[in-house]
Amino acid sequence: MDRSTSYDLIVLGGGPAGYTAALYAARAGLSVLVIEQFSAGGQMTQTAMIENYPGFDEGVDGYSLGEKMQKGAERFGAKTLRAQILSVQLACDPKVIRTDEGEYLAKTVIVATGAGHRHLGLLHEEELVGKGVGYCAACDGMFYRGKRVAVVGGGNSAAADALLLSRICDTVYLIHRRDTLRAGKTEREALKKADNIVWKLNSTVEAFQFEEQLTGITIKNKDTGDTETLSLDGVFISIGREPQTKLFQDQLALSEEGYILAGEDTKTNLPGVFSAGDVREKPFRQIVTAVSDGAVAAYYAEQYLTEE
C-alpha cells in the first residue's frame, strides 16, 4: 500500500463523532485520516450556543467546539482531508474510499457522516435555498433581522428556531401540520410567551411564492381546506433530519429510516467497519452521544487491528 494514501483507520465525517474517534485512535498509535467535506464540527457549526456539552460553564459556540475537536485529534497525528466522499468499497481489504480529491485505502473505517436536514419536497424548494428558503435558523436567522419569516415544523428544533427568530425578526409564523406541537413543555411555554409568534396549526405548506427571492408561501388548513398566502422574506424548514447513508446503502445494513444498524459496540454488519454518531440507529442524537460513539468505535477499530 502507498503509505501516503493508506491508513490504519479512515474516519468518514468530521463532526464530533468523527473527530473523537480520530482523537482516540491517533492517541492509540493508529495512522488516521478524517475525510470531511466542510469545516470541522458537522451539525454543531450550525448553532451559536451549545449549553449541554459538559466542561463549558458558559456554553460554547458550535463552530469553535468543532475546531477544538479537530485540533485535539490532529495534536496526536490524525490528518484531515477536505474532500467529498463519492463512493466506498467496504467489504474488501483494504477498504477503498473514493473522494473528489483522490482514492484512499484503509484497514478499518468508521462511518460518522451524521445526518442532514429533511426537505419539504415542494416544487422550487431546491432553487430557493439561500434565496429565502433555509434549514438553519442559527446560521441564517441574522439575515432576516426585522423581517417576516416562517418556521415549518413542530418538534424541539422547530420550537428552538422559532424562539431564536422571534428575538431577531418582526413576525414569525409557526406552521405545523398537527393541532399540537411535538416540542417539549418548556419549549411550548416559551413559544407562548413570545408575542410576535403567530401559530398556524393543522396547516401544511402547499407552495412557495417567489420572484428572484422568496416572497411568500401558500398554506392550507387541513380542517377547513382553506388556503392562505403569507407574505414572507424567509422560511425555515425544520422538519427533522435524514441520515447521510446513500453511499453505504448497498453495503451496510440500514434501518427503514436509513440509519446504520450497529449496536452500542458500533460494529456494523461488515468486519472492520464501525458506525458512530447521528448516522447510527439509536434513540438519542446529541453531541455527547456522538462523542461517546466515536470513542467506542475507535476502541473496537483498534481491537480489530490487533486481532487481525
Ligand X SMILES: Cc1cc2nc3c(=O)[nH]c(=O)nc-3n(C[C@H](O)[C@H](O)[C@H](O)COP(=O)(O)OP(=O)(O)OC[C@H]3O[C@@H](n4cnc5c(N)ncnc54)[C@H](O)[C@@H]3O)c2cc1C
Instruction: Report the alpha-carbon distance of residue 207 to residue 131 in Å, rounded.
Output: 15
One-letter-per-residue 3-state SS of 48-71: CCECCCCCCCCCECHHHHHHHHHH
CB of 241 to ligand X, least distance (A): 7
CB of 229 to ligand X, least distance (A): 28
CB of 192 to ligand X, least distance (A): 22
Among residues 140, 161, 233, 293, the one annotated as catalytic is 140
SS3 178: coil
Burial class of residue 39 in the structure, from the number of CB atoms within 10 Å of its CB (0-12 exposed, 13-18 middle, 19+ buried):
middle
Burial class of residue 51 in the structure, from the number of CB atoms within 10 Å of its CB (0-12 exposed, 13-18 middle, 19+ buried):
exposed
Alpha helices in 104-155 (DSSP H): 137-140
Instruction: Report the alpha-carbon distance of residue 31 to residue 293 in Å, rounded.
Output: 19
| Active site annotation includes 139 | yes
- Count CA atoms within 13 Å of residue 292 on its CB side: 14
| Active site annotation includes 169 | no
CB of 42 to ligand X, least distance (A): 2
Where along the sequence are the contacts to ligand X (CB under 6 A)? 13-18, 35-38, 42-44, 46-47, 50, 52-53, 84-85, 112-115, 136, 138, 244, 277-279, 285-288, 290
* Residue 228 or 246 with smaller CB distance to ligand X: 246
Cβ atoms within 10 Å of 59's Cβ, excluding its own: 12
* Residue 87 or 213 with smaller CB distance to ligand X: 87
Among residues 8, 92, 100, 136, the one annotated as catalytic is 136
Q: Which three cell numbers stand for residue 164?
A: 431564536
Q: Which three cell numbers stand for residue 136?
A: 438553519
| Active site annotation includes 92 | no
* Residue 142 or 288 with smaller CB distance to ligand X: 288
Whether the CB-CB separation of 62 and 39 falls below 8 Å is answered with: no
Q: Which three cell numbers stand for residue 219?
A: 398554506
CB of 48 to ligand X, least distance (A): 9
Instruction: Report the alpha-carbon distance of residue 26 to residue 137 in Å, rounded.
Output: 35
* Residue 160 or 219 with smaller CB distance to ligand X: 160
* Residue 85 or 152 with smaller CB distance to ligand X: 85
Known catalytic residues? 136, 139-140
